Structure 1
Amino acid sequence: MREMEPETELGTHRVENQPPPRGDLSLMETDPALREALSDLGAPRRAALADYAATIGTTGMREAARDANRHAPEAHLFDRAGRRLDEVRFHPAYHAFMRTSCAAGYASVAWEGGAGGHRAHAAMVYLASQVEPGHCCPLTMTYAAVPALAAGGAPFAHWRDKALSRDYDPDPRPIDDKPGVTLGMALTEKQGGSDVRANTTRAERDGAGWRLTGHKWFCSAPMSDAFLTLAQAPGGLTCFLVPRWLEEGRNHIRIARLKDKLGNRSNASAEIEYARALAWQLGEEGDGVRTIVRMIHHTRLDTALAPAGLMRAALCEAHHWVAHRSAFQARLIDQPLMRCLLADLALDLEGSLALGLHVARAFDGMDDAARAFGRIGVALAKFLSNKLCPVVVGEAMEVLGGAGYVEDGPLPMLYREAPLNGIWEGSGNVICLDVLRSLARDPLAGGVLASELDAAAGADPAYDVALSDYRAAWPALPEPAQARAFTEHTALMLSASVLCRGASDAVAGAFVRSRLTDRRGRVPGALPAVDPAPLLARLGG
């Protein structure tokens, strides 16, 4: 259908000095940092990512994202006669994103074989988060559940196969009647939160299966086809797979209410109760934490990449605004202070994306060193990128002034989303303490981290000075009270190392000098002398 151009001459005034619509966006073609980070990925994978980036970057899909977030999921707990339904229903736009991302392999590409699968998946998280981050939650959990299902062996192969399907089927039907499934997670309870060993949900044997009774304070994506969950069995805290639908009908999973969340509005999160729900043991009895950590480890990768996507989306909106807006007889993009601010924010994005995709490379590795670096690297990347994200998005919103604060554009959605990934899968303090534990308990982790930092030695004299200062500051692991200082410093050093090895001198040098060696203020834009031109050119999308 041909659309009519909006009117500019309104009688009372003429609309001018306003940016034009951005139109369809090829989110990969306009992103030099992403293309550079994936330059050694196989050509078929890069082509598939480019197709996905172009599909979700269209004007139509961005409008669908607005619809999915404006029309929140609704809980349908009963039918008109009072019979239980315990269902959640979504706007069609949400299903459109689920269908598109499933078909592109968001949840499956990492496990289908071939080199670079986890990096391709991580790039999809980054791309999807720029447009509609809410639908990422169920697909991230489906991706991350695959290694946990392996703990159950052959009996769970059917679930694994259906989780790896690229067919999206939201209908409430048993697994055998569906071409593909999504998997969720339900761990935390009121009394424990992150301390899942305090969980009180109990599991009782029932033939070959178990019956679970208890509550879960947070259940993300409650319309998933099954949930990985923890419950107290006679042998201790154990991991279970709880199907949503059974051959004989609904499983005994009751939705108490949907969470009224700050952001992530297109995706439902719920409080649920297990009323003797049928479940299947996954992993050894009493070994629940070790089993579920296989899933959490992979969801953490996504929580490290998603904030980079949010930052990219916000900064591209800000760049588009200043490139087409004038104030005080000059274009905003030509104002020195504006250029300094956006360049500073762009460096946060550059470091977060480079580090996140570098960690994803380790997830593709097969040896012990790669696995050790993946464990410590993902925690460092998750912590730093999520601490930066709310500040970057907030500053981008401020660039637009009042126009950035209203729901006509995407910045309010991005701003509401910005804190989420820092909370999900371990808040900041939990992650920092995990970093200390990993380095203390795993002899290989410290060695591979040191090797990663040494890999950039000689690339930039300023980096060499910063590395020497870092090692003088932390000759040994700190006390827990210093865990945040240590984690931030280590993550910045690691980001700088990755940039020094793969980014242009203009990007890497500016990052090292502004983050590690020269004096810098606490607010964005309070920056030592940096040439903003090459950094701003990379935001042109």
Structure 2
Amino acid sequence: MALEQQLQNQVPDLMGDDLFGEDPALQHWQSQLACQEARQSLADYGQKLGSAYWREQGALANRQPPQWRGWSAQGERIDHVDFHPAWHHLLSLGMEQGLHIWPHQPQPGQHLLRAMGFYLHGQIEAGTLCPLTMTRAAAPLLQSDPFQEWAARLDINQYDSSSQQMVEKSSVLLGMGMTERQGGSDLRGCTTEAHPDGQAFRVYGHKWFLSVPQADGHLVLAREHEQFSCFLMPRYTEDSLNRRYIRRLKDKLGNRSNASAEIDFDGALAWRVGQAGRGIALLAAMAARTRIDCVLGSAALMRQALVQSLHYCRHRRCFGKQLIDQPMMQAVLLDMSLESEAATHLALFLVDLQERANDPVAQSVLRVLAPAAKFWVCRRAIALCAEAMETWGGNGYIEDGPMPRLLREAPVNSIWEGSGNVMCLDVQRALSQEGVLEALQADLRARTGDDAELGQAAQEVLSAVSQAGGRVWTQKLLTLYQSCLMRQVAPDAVADLFTTHRLQQGPAAVFGLEGVEQACWYLHRSWPRLQAS
């Protein structure tokens, strides 16, 4: 059989797509950016990331995961983590875009600009998001006098991969270490201890999960005289590797490009950050910032899974039609497109709340919605990525394509920084704080306005507030907010479809909205490239 015949009905790799310009949700949110230069920066980044080169870099970084080298050829302890060069290229790209920078005097739209870049980056490679988000989330904790040299290097847009002490580097990356083998999410089970040593401390103990072990410094939780304090632990001291020793790298289901380690502390040098006894509160504030990035990262995976499905179904022919023209496949793709768009709007809405740092109502609403969104959106990403894999049939299960990596990547955001039950308990805690429930009620009244359907749903959610923090209640709150956002920013037909199938009926166990007229219009709007076919 001729080679040409063997290759019939095969789908080409997706490349050269415009991640920014072809995303309807981003087109709404970019209008919030007053600066044309900022909008152009996002447009350029989206086009660059969609190229064949950067897609291949993302695949390479995951195909060859990091390796730990504990000792040099001479027997010296080095604890070096070797990465594929693609990892360094992608991390450098993200830092050039400023994805690791926390603006200390933010201009309007600055958080939003960074969030959209983070979302674009996460569609091509998710592992490099970890050091970027850790560094950014830690930065506000290091603005006091003892850490000025660190703080100055956190704002540099140039990646420095060298392994040396902080003062010899142009820029630095940070990680975090809280979880221990016996405690998990219960941070009060921490047994690691810090003992004074002049102006510094010596830390003894371990961490079961240490993010970004190759980072230049880590914020670590440790006991100090029966109090829990936060400490900055450098990777290198003035003359040697600090006394923090990698035990092994974790062999993870997904997030393969990124290193996570078990680590021991044997008198490791560290400096206290903030007041004694404030460690859990400080690291919880850092975690709150990373949770928003978890939602953004999951929305990014959902968007990429959707686009890969649309691309495949546009090119693949089955039972006499293109897959995308088969009614049942249209129903699945349409449902996925609604889920993806609503997730993106919600993620960027959280960032919009974050922008309004001086608005107490916005901050109270954010305190509830950030853990709630992490619970719901990150969980939905797992289901959507699994459904997207099925749209490819058997080809979706093969490692040559993008779908296995997307599916493996999806669970990490649901688990990292607190799994589902922990998030729901955090929602409960937030609503128990003074003024938070009242702020949520006021915000929902303003958002539902005269819309009878949304108003009724809000009344039902708020009347069941005694169940607040339960998984079902949290899901209902999130779908209500997503419905409000879709009503605000999406075309009426799209918003109607979402509210009918999510708010009224509740999310189904399977994807598929059958019997929807003009399904092609919805799909073309989701990914305008389809209109060229």
- Give the match for residue 70 of structure 1: 63
- Give the match for residue 487 of structure 1: 474
Q: Give matches, 1:311-326, under 5 Å.
A: 311-326=302-317
From 122, 130, 135, the counterpart of 1:137: 130
Distance 2:497 2:115 in 1: 25
1:425 correspondence with 2:412 = no
Distance 1:412 1:288 in 2: 38
Structure 1 residue 228 displacement after superposition? 0.3
SS at match of 2:160: coil
Q: Give matches, 1:433-452, under 5 Å.
A: 433-443=425-435, 445-452=436-443
Distance 1:25 1:341 in 2: 22
Structure 1 residue 526 displacement after superposition? 5.4
Distance 1:161 1:131 in 2: 29
SS at match of 1:35: helix
Distance 2:13 2:131 in 1: 31
- Give the match for residue 331 of structure 1: 322
Does the aligned pair in 1 maintain the 2:9–2:316 contact within 8 Å? yes
Deviates more, 1:226-235 or 1:44-53: 44-53
Structure 1 residue 33 displacement after superposition? 1.3
Distance 1:47 1:452 in 2: 33
Q: Give matches, 1:101-120, under 5 Å.
A: 101-108=94-101, 110-111=103-104, 113-120=106-113
TM-score, normalised on structure 2? 0.95
Deviates more, 1:353-362 or 1:367-376: 367-376
SS at match of 2:59: helix
- Give the match for residue 224 of structure 2: 233
Distance 1:67 1:529 in 2: 40
Number of residue pairs matched by the alignment: 526
- Give the match for residue 172 of structure 1: 163
Q: Give matches, 1:149-164, under 5 Å.
A: 149-150=142-143, 153-164=144-155
Amino acid at match of 2:66: P
CA change 1:48–1:232 in 2 (3 A) is: same
Render the CA deviation track for 1:104-157: whole Å, top value 9, x for unaligned. Answer: 10011644632112212221221111000000001100010012224xx11112
Distance 2:61 2:19 in 1: 20
SS at match of 1:229: strand
SS at match of 2:467: coil
Amino acid at match of 2:332: L
Distance 2:521 2:372 in 1: 27
Amino acid at match of 2:225: P
From 16, 34, 37, the counterpart of 1:44: 37
SS at match of 1:216: strand
Does the aligned pair in 2 maintain the 1:452–1:497 contact within 8 Å? no
- Give the match for residue 207 of structure 2: 216
- Give the match for residue 256 of structure 2: 265
From 460, 479, 503, the counterpart of 1:516: 503
Does the aligned pair in 1 maintain the 2:175–2:210 contact within 8 Å? yes
Distance 1:32 1:253 in 2: 47
Does the aligned pair in 2 maintain the 1:308–1:353 contact within 8 Å? yes
1:507 correspondence with 2:494 = yes
Structure 1 residue 342 displacement after superposition? 0.8
Does the aligned pair in 2 maintain the 1:219–1:269 contact within 8 Å? yes
Distance 2:92 2:462 in 1: 48
Amino acid at match of 2:467: P
- Give the match for residue 477 of structure 1: 466
Distance 1:251 1:274 in 2: 9
Structure 1 residue 501 displacement after superposition? 1.3
Structure 1 residue 520 displacement after superposition? 6.4
1:409 correspondence with 2:396 = no
Structure 1 residue 382 displacement after superposition? 1.1
Render the CA deviation track for 1:56-92: whole Å, top value 9, x for unaligned. Answer: 2210011111110011101010112322011101110
- Give the match for residue 188 of structure 1: 179
Distance 2:75 2:63 in 1: 28
1:377 correspondence with 2:365 = no
Does the aligned pair in 1 maintain the 2:15–2:55 contact within 8 Å? no
Task: State the identity %.
Answer: 38
Structure 1 residue 334 displacement after superposition? 1.0
CA change 1:519–1:64 in 2 (3 A) is: closer
TM-score, normalised on structure 1? 0.94
Q: Which 4+ runs in 1 deviate beyond 6 A?
A: none
Does the aligned pair in 2 maintain the 1:146–1:160 contact within 8 Å? yes
SS at match of 1:514: helix
Deviates more, 1:388-397 or 1:497-506: 497-506
1:309 correspondence with 2:300 = yes
Distance 2:452 2:521 in 1: 21
Does the aligned pair in 2 maintain the 1:340–1:527 contact within 8 Å? yes
Structure 1 residue 292 displacement after superposition? 1.0
> Mind listing any 5+ residue stretches in structure 1 that lack a counterpart?
1-7
Structure 1 residue 529 displacement after superposition? 4.4
Render the CA deviation track for 1:157-191: whole Å, top value 9, x for unaligned. Answer: 22122112111111111111111000000110001
From 240, 248, 251, the counterpart of 1:249: 240
Amino acid at match of 1:31: D
SS at match of 2:32: coil
- Give the match for residue 93 of structure 1: 86
Distance 1:257 1:124 in 2: 32
Does the aligned pair in 2 maintain the 1:315–1:539 contact within 8 Å? no
Distance 1:528 1:467 in 2: 28
From 10, 29, 35, the counterpart of 2:27: 35
Distance 1:215 1:40 in 2: 45
Does the aligned pair in 2 maintain the 1:148–1:294 contact within 8 Å? no
SS at match of 1:455: helix
Q: Give matches, 1:342-353, under 5 Å.
A: 342-353=333-344
SS at match of 1:219: strand
